[in-house]
Structure 1
Amino acid sequence: MKQKFHYATITQAIEELKKQGFTLDLNLKENQFLVGEQAYPADEFEIVDLYRYEGPSDPADESIVYALASKSGLKGLLVSGYGNSTDEDSANTLQQLHYKYLHHYGE
């Protein structure tokens, strides 16, 4: 599935996705998404859309904006930098979410 939009900047992507209801600021720790003190199992979420940004001179400057939705209707954003997941569980969780996204949209 091709993205309907490509936002020029991370800030623009975040602003536009918030207008679409992705208002929670999600943080990933191990296999959970955290919103403040509240924790949600990551496997309850799916990637609805994602936007990748790379620095002009260094691919290590990559950032990804994830628009995520849960089965219960929660919608939020996760912004992840290249190599930002410091623990193996977080890296595995993102990998599983990517797999479900690619499998679902046939990319």
Structure 2
Amino acid sequence: MTNVTYKYATVLVAIQNLRNEGYNVDFNLEENCLICGDNKYTIDDFEIEQVYRYEGESNPSDEATVYGIASKDGLKGILVTAYGAYTDSMSTAMLRKLALKND
């Protein structure tokens, strides 16, 4: 992971700025991979380049994370996850890849 930052005020602003930086497709989580259209990407097929985490002021369910992702086949896109939305069906390896690290 290249960049962990919290510099944008809202999720919408983070998405708009990532779009301006060329992250033009939308990724979604499906079981143990990311999907974009008909393409599926396992944990070895993409890198997380940017991460923006937003915490709800009074409710943990208001938390979200915005990822700037680059696939090995050249797609750059965005994944937005809500607090706990993906944890039940994801593999341990995928959860580790998506986890924020304080290195």
Q: Which runs of 5+ in 2 are unaligned?
A: none
Q: What is the TM-score of this pair, normalised by structure 2?
A: 0.81
Kindly indicate whether the alpha-carbon contact (under 8 Å) linking 1:53 and 1:64 is maintained by their aligned counterparts in 2.
Answer: yes
Partner of 1:71: 72
Structure 1 pair 9–97 and aligned structure 2 pair: CA distance change class (3 A): closer
Change (3 A) 1:2 1:39: closer
Question: Which digits, 9 at most, give the CA deviation of each residue in 1:30-69, with x for residues without a partner?
Answer: 2221112322223211110100111110123210001111
> Any gaps of 5 or more consecutive residues in structure 1?
none
1:43 alignment counterpart = 44
Match of 1:55? Answer: 56
CA 1:14–1:61 in structure 2 vs 1: closer, same or farther (change >3 Å)? same
C-alpha change, 1:34 and 1:18, in structure 2 (3 Å) is same
Residue 25 of structure 1 aligns with an amino acid whose one-letter code is D
Residue 89 (structure 2) aligns with: 87
Residues 2 and 34 (structure 1), Cα distance of their counterparts in 2 relative to 1, 3 Å cut: closer
Say if 1:47 and 1:98, in contact at 8 Å, map to a contact too.
no
Residue 12, structure 1, aligned to residue 13, structure 2: yes
Give the CA RMSD over aligned residues.
2.2
Structure richer in helix, relative to its length: 1
Q: CA deviation at 1:15?
A: 0.5
Report the Cα distance in structure 2 between the residues aligned to 1:41 and 1:11, rounded to whole angstroms.
27
